């Protein structure tokens, strides 16, 4: 589904709000055998999602090799306690820009990069998001469970289970 610029702006804002408090995402790449390969990646909560997602990485890592072969990736976020789920698909690239490293650096990243931005192999993965999909059900898990149980009992689709949207960001 394609949205107008105003609608895209609202959807970007919605996605930004949904992912801002999620500490980890799953980054899925395509491995050398053509199989999907996922791993957790620490998110940088201070980054305002504007259609791109940024991750710190080592340039010599396996995920970078996989991205160099197949640029298409998926980044997924989940906050089950809030019943919020986000899937972002797009094209990834390696970025070695010191000013961007400085801009995005957060002290907690020192756990993975002890020499901070002076780490010799440090780089950024930039995911240019082309499509997004989200599910947001702000009602309680109990209300959702009741709605789902009612659907099973009646044979009718569950109602009032939240918001679901597909967004084309290209």
Q: What is the pLDDT of residues 89-130, one digit of tens each?
A: 999 999 999 999 999 999 989 999 999 999 999 999 999 999
Question: Model's pTM, two decimal places?
Answer: 0.81
Give me the number of domains the chain comprises: 1
Task: Determine the pLDDT at residue 2.
Answer: 43
Task: Determine the pLDDT at residue 3.
Answer: 44
Residue 81 in tokens: 């306690």
Task: Determine the pLDDT at residue 140.
Answer: 52
> What does the alpha-carbon distance between residue 170 and residue 168 come to, in Å, rounded to a whole number?
6
Task: Determine the pLDDT at residue 142.
Answer: 56
SS3 152: helix
Residues of the chain with pLDDT under 70: 1-6, 45-47, 138-151, 154, 156-161
Task: Determine the pLDDT at residue 21.
Answer: 84
Residues near 129 by beta carbon (within 8 Å), at least 6 away in sequence:
51, 52, 53, 75, 88, 89, 90, 169
Give the residue carrying structure tokens 């789902």: 148
Q: What is the largest CA-CA distance in the chain?
A: 61
Q: Are strands 122-136 and 52-58 parallel, antiparallel or unpaired?
A: antiparallel
Task: Determine the pLDDT at residue 151.
Answer: 57
The parent domain of residue 97 ranges over 5-168
Q: What CATH number is associated with residue 126?
A: 2.30.110.10
Residues near 122 by beta carbon (within 8 Å), at least 6 away in sequence:
56, 57, 58, 59, 101, 113, 115
């Amino acid at each position: 589904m394609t949205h107008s610029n105003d609608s895209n702006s609202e959807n970007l804002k919605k996605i930004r709000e949904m992912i801002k408090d999620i500490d980890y995402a799953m980054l899925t790449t395509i491995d050398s055998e053509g199989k999907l390969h996922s791993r957790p990646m620490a998110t940088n909560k201070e980054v305002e999602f504007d259609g791109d997602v940024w991750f710190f990485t080592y340039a010599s890592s396996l995920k970078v090799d996989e991205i160099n072969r197949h640029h298409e990736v998926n980044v997924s976020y989940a906050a089950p306690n809030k019943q919020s789920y986000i899937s972002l698909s797009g094209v990834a690239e390696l970025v070695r820009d010191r000013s961007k490293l400085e801009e995005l650096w957060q002290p907690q990243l020192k756990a993975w990069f002890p020499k901070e931005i002076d780490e010799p192999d440090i780089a950024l993965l930039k995911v240019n998001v082309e499509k997004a999909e989200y599910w947001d059900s702000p009602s309680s898990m109990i209300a959702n469970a009741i709605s789902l149980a009612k659907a099973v009992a009646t044979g009718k689709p569950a109602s009032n289970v939240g918001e679901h949207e597909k967004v084309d960001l290209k």
